[in-house]
Amino acid sequence: MAGERVLIFDTTLRDGEQSPGISLNTAEKLEIAHQLARLGVDVIEAGFPIASPGDFEAVQAIAREVEGPVIAGLARAHTADVERAAAAVRDAARPRVHTFISTSDIHIEHQLRSTREDVKGQARAAVAHAKSLVDDVEFSPMDATRADVEFTAEVLQIALDEGATTINIPDTVGYAMPHEYAAFLARLYELVPDLRNAVLSVHCHDDLGLAVANSFAGVQAGARQVECAINGIGERAGNASLEEIVMLLHTRAADVGLQTGVNTREIARTSRLVSRLTGYPVQPNKAIVGRNAFAHESGIHQDGVLKERSTYEIMDATTVGLEGNDIVLGKHSGRHALKQALEDLGLEIDGHALNQAFKRFKDIADKKKQVTAMDLEALVTDELREELRAYTLEWFEVAAASRRPPHARVGVKTPEGEVVQGDFTGDGPVDAVFRAINAATGRDARLREFRVDSVTGGQDALGEASVVLEVAGMSASGQGVSTDVIEAAALAYVRALSNADLRGRRRAAEADAVAAATELSATP
Amino acid sequence: MAGERVLIFDTTLRDGEQSPGISLNTAEKLEIAHQLARLGVDVIEAGFPIASPGDFEAVQAIAREVEGPVIAGLARAHTADVERAAAAVRDAARPRVHTFISTSDIHIEHQLRSTREDVKGQARAAVAHAKSLVDDVEFSPMDATRADVEFTAEVLQIALDEGATTINIPDTVGYAMPHEYAAFLARLYELVPDLRNAVLSVHCHDDLGLAVANSFAGVQAGARQVECAINGIGERAGNASLEEIVMLLHTRAADVGLQTGVNTREIARTSRLVSRLTGYPVQPNKAIVGRNAFAHESGIHQDGVLKERSTYEIMDATTVGLEGNDIVLGKHSGRHALKQALEDLGLEIDGHALNQAFKRFKDIADKKKQVTAMDLEALVTDELREELRAYTLEWFEVAAASRRPPHARVGVKTPEGEVVQGDFTGDGPVDAVFRAINAATGRDARLREFRVDSVTGGQDALGEASVVLEVAGMSASGQGVSTDVIEAAALAYVRALSNADLRGRRRAAEADAVAAATELSATP
């Protein structure tokens, strides 16, 4: 399947991580970035380094460790942002700074409280500054699809003159229609002939369900980079789904004549990893990666597929890595077998992490006859969540029955190493455990969401619990894995409490950054 | 907002209900159909009457009770199908028969094992027969987007000659690209000038993430009916999302110049009802109806929205009914207040159902300070699930702790009215309860999926459990609502067991229908 290459720019760790309730630590971001490299994306947007020290640290760690893709850091068109982004990505083999400023009047007037002339000046200064620090500079006119095309063209010409090598046209609010977006890009090519010497990129949001279609219309209009996220996560309704745009180009390659560098067989696993670490479920009817995307239910369709698969199938489930993995371990499997199985999954863990994973594996294998590849993924991912100095669940007890209020007792180790106890009589066993944890820790956390999913089928399946709570105005999420739903819930709750602290610190840093932006954008 | 009208044809109850694990009973289908009428859809495709006696009964009940929309029944191009569909919808004020046959060679050769000439004959006979029974006849050339356009045009001319009033062009396998689909429709208009006298309809699947974009491209090419489903459910990756296509036409009305008859403020509630009854969750980043579709997380976006909403918002959450509902009842609220609150929600229940709902409401209000509109929806929906002669959970007891295997005891009333008991020591409390239910009932059910979601936020929120299990090769789902997660899980499991029987009978009926089809399609 030859054809011109379309670059896949993954923003799961930047725009995706901006989704409410997601708060990934550095170890989790690294694990996702390594998997994105295995998936074969061309660019990883690893974060927004000025947003918080944690963001900076994660981008830097990815730049240092993850080989293959270009590593990009996001920066507003401000000196401090650009410097911070460049410093974070500096150690990558191929670092990129991605800087942006709005060109729509609605943003210029109401958010930036500035003028078109000022925006041109800021764009010029930011791109020039970025170019003095790294070779590879991407520029985005934010909210472009609601901006005046002539003015946007002027700003793009400036960015190109200052050395931008990629020009990205964001449909920031998910407002564009495919024909409109394609026409906008075509007009930019007319107004800015130099655009032909840069890579044109698309960045579309799914507010009206058109993110993939708009991205594809952009590609047909000449764009050769698509910004997208695993499972389509991101602000509001999210970004274009990486898996959908990739499988569209792959499945229709004979007609479209373009290709990507993605190894499609890594798609399903990447989707599961991102879903698990972010706590964002994938709905069963989600294209490509939903549980039912390849299922046939009606008698007529089943009859057709039995006679000839192509009657109702345009893609093969093995192409996206949904089938064909038959690793199965049991309680007699040793450490070496576990390490080998993990390596087959592309998960390289050693030392303490391997010891921990082996201990967890043995606990699970005692309860569960067969430990599958998907169970191993869940366990290893669960291990990544352990943070130093966080709350830890030590033990719990619950009694529940249909006509008596359930009672729970828990022991939780605090960041200071002390084991505190609490108990509570609640409306349900999970509620009782959560409130007992509040009582033990003295934190006034309020549950916003709670969900449990089974990792695989089967009566003895692992349960993955996901909790979103609010503490002191901050929202934070936590996940936990166990064959016991209540234990999984308690683990998730305690981790969410731990993440709340992290999130509190990060929000404070972001508020400072926004305050700084307001000051800067008021300066001519 | 004037402009030409686009008809919304909802297929949640037909194509949507074909999703794996969904098995709605007649009461549930009726509740969804009533809500679709409140939502203001133009056509409800209520089911596939020949598929099973249950399908027939549900379509007939909807045709008799639900006022407003056209009620359609699906039929293959066979005499028996058409007669069964016409009989099921006959009592509707405006009945429609929707008949279909494939025009793609891949389907004709491999599935129908027939010839193009035979397909023309079957289409002619089916439309003529349907027209003799009802005025309103829709015809679909299945898998049209992979079919020869000239041959499809010939078949459409035949259908129009025989009196079809709506011609629907399905992208059955979700293969088309927007420009391709629009070109296909444009070519059909050229080849079949009579198509201008019928309503052209689009029916797109989301396998490549393009269902809404393809539907919209079809509308721009002249189609004036869109077939779609709530939450985008349906075979595999599902159909075009009703809420996305409607809000696209609504939000971009000034530029597109088309309108629908949908009351957008009913969208969120319809989405919740369908999600709850089908057990299909909506992912947080789903456009329009996802929990985060209107949330702003990054500091920059929040700053913009605080200064001026339109900087980052193209739609208002109240437009889709996500906010503005502030019904709150408490433990002192009486039966009248409950009935009034339910009526405000558009839920009319009386007699036994009201008594049951009031009893459930009081139980919940004892445990939960505030009972909100969303809680009421969940409770009333939960009541709809009660079926006569099904298993019923009478009581349960569980003890769980971190270092001891949990033990459960349950009492279950059988369809014969006997209360049977069982107990089990399992890996987790939910597992122990499920296996105790198996032990009590003597059924060898295997758990395939298990999920718990909270209905609203808050420590005392109701939990909704969803279970998919397999019994004797059949899959069946059940849902349960309670403030106690284990009770919700046990209710869901027992209901899934009950549904398994129903599903077993239905599958047998479908298998007969397929066998009949194979025989019929082998006949010239």
A357 vs B33, residue with greater confidence: B33
pLDDT of A225: 98
pLDDT at A512: 66
Residue in B closest to A281 by C-alpha: B283
- Phi/psi at B197 (nearest 5 deg)? -90, -5
| Residue ranges of E strands in A94-219 | 95-102, 136-142, 166-171, 199-204
pLDDT value of residue A523: 34
Q: Do B248 and A300 touch (CB under 8 A)?
A: no
> What confidence score (pLDDT) does residue B505 get?
61
Q: What is the SS3 assignment for B450?
A: strand
- The whole-number pLDDT of residue B388 equals 46
Q: By three-state DSSP, how is residue A295 classified? A: coil
The answer to whether B217 faces chain A, any CB pair under 8 Å, is: yes
Chain B partners within 8 Å of A446 (Cβ): 457-459
Query: Please, what sign has the CA dihedral across residues A184, A185, A187, A188?
Result: positive
Q: Enumerate long-range contacts of B154-157, CB under 8 Å, 24 or more apart.
A: B154/B120, B155/B101, B155/B103, B155/B119, B155/B120, B155/B123, B156/B188, B156/B192, B156/B195, B157/B192, B157/B194
- How many angstroms separate the CA atoms of A243 and A212, rounded? 10
B209 neighbourhood in chain A, CB within 8 Å: 212-213, 241, 244-245, 248, 287-288
Q: Nearest to residue B101, comparing CAs of B51, B43, B197, B172?
A: B172
Give which of A485, A493, A505 to mutate to test B binding, by max B Cβ within 10 Å: A485
User: Which residues in chain B have Cβ-Cβ distances shorter than 8 Å to A292?
Assistant: 19-20, 236-238
Q: Phi/psi at A479 (nearest 5 deg)?
A: -130, 155
Question: Please, how many CA atoms are within 13 Å of residue B310, restricted to the half-sphere of its CB?
Answer: 9
Q: Which tokens in the block code for residue B392?
A: 């019923």
The pLDDT value recorded for residue A332 is: 80
Q: Provide the residue-wise pLDDT of chain A in tens; the chain has 524 residues.
A: 458 999 999 999 999 998 877 878 898 899 999 999 999 999 999 999 998 888 999 999 999 999 999 999 999 999 999 999 999 999 999 999 999 999 999 999 999 999 999 999 999 999 999 999 999 999 999 999 999 999 999 999 999 999 999 999 999 999 999 999 999 999 999 999 999 999 999 999 999 999 999 999 999 999 999 999 999 999 999 999 999 999 999 999 999 999 999 999 999 999 999 998 888 889 989 999 998 888 876 778 888 888 888 888 888 888 888 765 556 788 788 888 888 888 777 677 778 878 878 887 887 777 666 777 777 777 777 766 655 447 889 999 988 887 778 899 999 988 888 999 999 998 788 888 999 999 999 988 888 778 887 776 665 677 888 888 888 777 777 888 888 888 888 988 988 888 777 666 666 665 665 565 544 443 33
Average pLDDT for B231-236: 95
**pLDDT class of B516 with cuts at 50, 70, 90:** low
Measured distance between the N- and C-terminal CA atoms of chain A, rounded to whole angstroms:
52
pLDDT for B440: 93
- DSSP lists the bridge partners of residue A264 as none
Given a cut of 90, whether residue B112 has pLDDT beyond it is yes
Q: What is the pLDDT of residue A458?
A: 61
Q: Does residue B508 have a pLDDT over 80?
A: no
Quote the Cα angle for B255-B260-B262, to 5°. Answer: 130
Determine the residue type at A215.
S
In sequence order, which ranges of B238-344 are alpha helices (DSSP H)? 242-251, 253-256, 267-278, 299-307, 335-344
Name the residue type at position A255: D
- Assess: ipTM above 0.85: no
d(CA B494, CA B522): 42
d(CA A225, CA A236): 22
A91 touches chain B (CB under 8 A): no
Residue B420, classified by CB atoms within 10 Å of its CB into exposed (0-12), middle (13-18) or buried (19+), is: middle
pLDDT in tens, B458-505: 656 778 888 888 887 777 778 888 888 888 889 889 888 887 776 666
What pLDDT sits at residue B288?
94
User: What pLDDT, on the 0 to 100 scale, is given for residue B400?
Assistant: 82
| Closest CB from A237, A428, A434 relative to B483 | A428
The residues in A 108-147 lying below 8 A from B, measured between CB atoms, are 110-111, 113, 143
The residue of chain A with its CA nearest to that of B230 is A285
**3-class DSSP state of B448:** strand
Q: In degrees to the nearest 10, what's the CA dihedral of B226, B230, B235, B237?
A: 100
pLDDT band for position B217 (cuts 50, 70, 90): very high
Q: What is the per-residue pLDDT across B420-437, written as a single tens digit (0 to 9) for each?
A: 999 999 878 888 899 999
Strands A404-413, A419-425: pairing is antiparallel
- Specify the pairing of strand A95-102 against strand A70-76: parallel
Q: Give per-residue pLDDT as tens, A287-302.
A: 999 988 888 767 788 8
User: Does the CB of A450 have a partner CB in chain B at under 8 Å?
Assistant: yes
pLDDT of residue B1: 44
For residues B360 and A279, give the distance between their C-alpha atoms in angstroms, rounded to a whole number: 31
Please report where in the chains the tokens 């399905």 appear, as a residue: B170
What is the DSSP secondary structure assignment for residue B319, as one 8-state letter? Answer: G
Complete DSSP assignment for B169-197: EEETTS---HHHHHHHHHHHHHH-GGGGG
CA A81 to chain centre: 22
Question: Measured between alpha carbons, how far is B53 from B368 in angstroms, rounded to an integer?
Answer: 41
B237 in contact with A, Cβ within 8 Å: yes
Range 46-85 of B in CB contact (< 8 A) with A: 48, 51, 76
- Quote the CA–CA distance of A490 and A426 in Å, as a whole number: 14
CA distance A171 to A218: 11
Residue B126's alpha-carbon distances to A140, A376, A497, B88, B130, in angstroms, are: 56, 54, 63, 16, 6
The whole-number pLDDT of residue B5 equals 97
Asked whether the predicted pLDDT for residue B326 surpasses 70, the reply is no
Q: Mind telling me how many Å the CA of A391 is from chain B's nearest CA?
A: 17
pLDDT of res. A324: 52
**Residue to substitute from B236, B267, B286, B464, interface A, most A β-carbons within 10 A:** B236
Asked if B132 contacts B105 with a C-beta cutoff of 8 angstroms, the reply is no
By DSSP bridging, strand A463-471 and strand A446-454 are: antiparallel
Residues B197-203, mean pLDDT to the nearest whole number: 98
On the CB side of A273, CA atoms within 13 Å amount to 31
What was the pLDDT predicted at A466?
84
CA end-to-end span of chain B: 51
Partners of A254 on chain B (C-beta within 8 Å) are: none
Taking the Cβ of residue B466 and every Cβ of chain A, the question of whether any pair is shorter than 8 Å is answered with: no
User: DSSP for B75-106?
Assistant: EESSHHHHHHHHHHHTTSSSEEEEEEEE-SHH
Which tens digits make up the pLDDT trace of B333-391?
A: 888 888 888 877 767 777 887 887 888 788 777 766 677 777 777 777 776 665 544 78
Predicted TM-score (pTM) of this structure: 0.85
Kindly tell me if the per-residue pLDDT of B521 is higher than 70. no
Contact assignment for A399 to B399 by CB distance below 8 Å: yes
Pick from B290, B461, B487: CB nearest A237? B290
Q: Mean pLDDT over residues B317-322, rounded?
A: 86
The pLDDT assigned to A514 comes to 56
Q: Do B447 and A431 touch (CB under 8 A)?
A: no
How do the residues of chain A divide into helix, strand and coil, expressed in percent and rounded to 5?
50, 20, 30
Mention every residue, 6+ apart, whose C-beta is less than 8 A from residue A59. A46, A47, A49, A71, A73, A85, A88, A89
